[in-house]
Structure 1
């Protein structure tokens, strides 16, 4: 499934929060309705069975409550996609990524094989349908998310190549699957942002750290041997940098296999860094139309002076394979920056499909970030300066990001507003998903006349969101300071429960007030773009009968 991801470390954001954000996009020619929900511990399965791959997995007995943005319609599984648990740990999964033939030949994907001719079916591995449900309810830090997901990949395998992010108030980790059972993960530097456009993205990996302190890197247990045995590291090394691996051959076995103990000893003596994008990724012609232009535009926006981005002699072009995975932004990043980038159709460049200037043959040459098939956008903002009870905000948008708006929702809640959770099969103005779909389709068809309505809509709703966050942060802070609800280590569980109930009630009140304002603004915008599009109907006629 095509998607675009932005991750921003705490020293690179405007307020010291960590950000993880992702567009979830449907496959070509398909639109997947989504909804915003809360999953309670009693609703979490203890034995999980994947709808698509039929793999069965026993789950722990102590899940936490968590938010999710699952598919609104049944049939293909949950696809929980993005959410936050009670411990203020977040996850987004997944970014579909690319790989190459050497990797897939060395570690094939674990695909479901249906029963045929009396032979039993063979379950497949885990995939995007499953990952959030299997991981998010059980982790208390971003680092724990990496280790749990890594163990699941090693045990069950996967039937697709995916990247995913884990987040707490201090750290963000990005994990990429390698073939069927292998994986790598890198901590996002605190002062940097990461851009991910449907390609394997990590461009530097320190194997010594991954098998040592694991300060910034982690990976599957046999990754060193996997790389060496299959000749995957493409780094050009001089003789002093060359790496060797020992091999052992058991009697009766005609195939040499890596000797783990020998290879570990050899690598420990030399510092091993390499470029995973070269080793595991792809550099196809299709990437230069579908993927790299998105990375180019996002980096160009956040680092306009870092390099030359335009013209025949640019340092980085839309088809460059070496656009950095992470950069330090030239100014602090805001939620509005993330929304703009994940809504982009290459504004200000010759490639904007809506442009009325420049060479028309270049318009729409590259796959936009904000496309018709966006299902939702979620930015999770974990604010270290706020108490745990209302620390996390989820900014949510549905449908095509180029023409939608988003709303902030407090994550520590027991229920979500109906306007965001009641998505059904049929188009309706009673929910945010379908209203956003209609606004987008009408605006696209009447772009010149309707765009200013969208700009005003986005500005008004965004301002209202920040206003309500300020209002309800203050209300909840006051509630925490009330002697009745101030909790100490000696307080009873009933005291804690009363305090939690009051905070939940305020957070849910805030979310409902935001949803009410959102519904009113969306209905008003729908009226306006419908009017503009109606005036452009081909059967229009200027003479009036009245």
Structure 2
């Protein structure tokens, strides 16, 4: 269960393309950061999900040459990559879990035996596709031929455009290029609406409209083809679990627009923000929990029974923001900011596309807490803070906000030096990028450990006051 936020280049503050998503499942699902080197395969070699204990028995031919790419997978399978860049600068974020209508699935069900799922998408698309549109077409063809093993939405971004694909039923799909002057938000729903087969900015399975019309999900006499109405679920579950997140995001960036929170299907698919948006705004979305409102489940005592599901939940195992700056080399212009664990209580750390290696503890972790993995460093702090959110959270959030500002300043300096150096010495520029990027990660980890000790000290002091059992002299 996730939340997706996408910003077109002409409505971002600096011309960046931006994609952000939270990945929500279990707080016990440690996340890794992996760099997959380029690799050649012999004819006939196959990618098999079952080799890694994935969700289905999906099988697909390996490419003759697989490009280098990064991924943020779960610990158990090293699959289920949440986000990544490949060597030519294509970024993919996947997936947003979405739900098809039951009567449509009864006719064309998900292929839960051998269909493609979020376990596989990053590891199939990034080694092969060079552009966002090519990635959409590849994934779409796989859905048509192999079937989707579940419902999902996937974002694709290169240095020219962003595309977003949503599944309908097991073999139907629809994708649209995100207009440059708008943003898009989704919270576990099919959000794409009207499809025109002649449109240059849309792609779909060849029988998308035919299937819906044949089975009574679309009547041409009633108007244009509406993908969401024809294929996706829209019931009381969406009213409290999904609609409020999209409503909240649109309220943040279009405060003058007044709309009922339970009007989800009628929310605009794309909106022009009332001001330019930035990476910081994307981070803000990933951290949102209806802050300060009556629906805030954290600030007024923990309330797990709050009916409105926020973007930032404790079981978020990572959130990320992808930034693509087309005017810069991919190595330095393409960045993934990753917050391990719950974004509200984490720090977004930059991982540049040109980063060549990461420390071993970014590549380990399990469903058991440990003292080594980077995931558990952040998760331990977050778990401790949630024992007294009102007291501890302000301390942690202030420190991480200041750290992100410091990181931004260091990034600006690094990028300026890299751009000057790469013109004459690419090897030295690469070494500089590696050195400074790893320093930024290490500094943020050290801050996390410092904060954990500070909060432990406060918690110790509080407990001692409550159960001191002092003698008369209050000494022993």
- Normalised by the size of structure 1, how large is the TM-score? 0.81
Q: What does residue 491 of structure 1 align with?
A: none
1:67 to 61, 65, 70: 70
After the TM superposition, which residues 8-407 of structure 1 pair with which residues of structure 2 at under 5 Å, given as runs?
8-26=7-25, 31-42=28-39, 46-51=45-50, 52-74=55-77, 78-112=79-113, 124-209=114-199, 215-233=200-218, 237=222, 273-305=224-256, 307-308=257-258, 315-318=259-262, 320-356=264-300, 364-407=306-349
What's the Cα RMSD here?
2.3
SS at match of 1:384: coil
Structure 1 contact 234–279 (Cα < 8 Å) conserved: no
What is the CA-CA distance between 1:353 and the residue it aligns to? 1.3
Which structure has the larger Rg over C-alpha atoms?
A: 1
Note the alpha carbon deviations across 1:134-154, whole angstroms, 9 max, x for none: 111111111111111111111
- Segments of 4+ moved more than 6 angstroms: 360-363
What is the CA-CA distance between 1:58 and the residue it aligns to? 0.7
What is the CA-CA distance between 1:363 and the residue it aligns to? 7.8
Structure 1 contact 17–384 (Cα < 8 Å) conserved: yes
Note the residue ranges of structure 2 that are not aligned, 5 or more in a row: none
SS at match of 1:205: coil
1:537 to 444, 463, 469: 463
What is the CA-CA distance between 1:286 and the residue it aligns to? 1.4
SS at match of 2:430: helix
Distance 1:44-1:84 versus aligned 2 partners, 3 A rule: farther
What is the CA-CA distance between 1:24 and the residue it aligns to? 0.9
Note the alpha carbon deviations across 1:437-492, whole angstroms, 9 max, x for none: 1111111111122122122222122012212211211221122222xx4xxxxxxx
What is the CA-CA distance between 1:508 and the residue it aligns to? 1.5
Structure 1 contact 446–532 (Cα < 8 Å) conserved: no
Structure 2 contact 347–400 (Cα < 8 Å) conserved: yes
Structure 1 contact 294–318 (Cα < 8 Å) conserved: no
Distance 1:53-1:73 versus aligned 2 partners, 3 A rule: closer
Distance in 2 of aligned mates of 1:287 and 1:31: 26
SS at match of 2:149: coil
Distance in 2 of aligned mates of 1:334 and 1:418: 32
Distance in 2 of aligned mates of 1:419 and 1:328: 41
What is the CA-CA distance between 1:234 and the residue it aligns to? 5.8
Note the residue ranges of structure 1 that are not aligned, 5 or more in a row: 113-123, 210-214, 242-272, 309-314, 486-498
Note the alpha carbon deviations across 1:311-344, whole angstroms, 9 max, x for none: xxxx221564322222111111111211121111
> How many matched pairs?
466
Distance 1:138-1:368 versus aligned 2 partners, 3 A rule: same
Distance 1:542-1:196 versus aligned 2 partners, 3 A rule: farther
Distance in 2 of aligned mates of 1:536 and 1:369: 31
What is the CA-CA distance between 1:205 and the residue it aligns to? 2.3
Distance in 1 of aligned mates of 2:440 and 2:375: 15
Structure 1 contact 12–192 (Cα < 8 Å) conserved: yes
Structure 2 contact 40–64 (Cα < 8 Å) conserved: no
Q: Aligned pair 1:438/2:380, yes or no?
A: yes
Distance in 1 of aligned mates of 2:195 and 2:169: 17
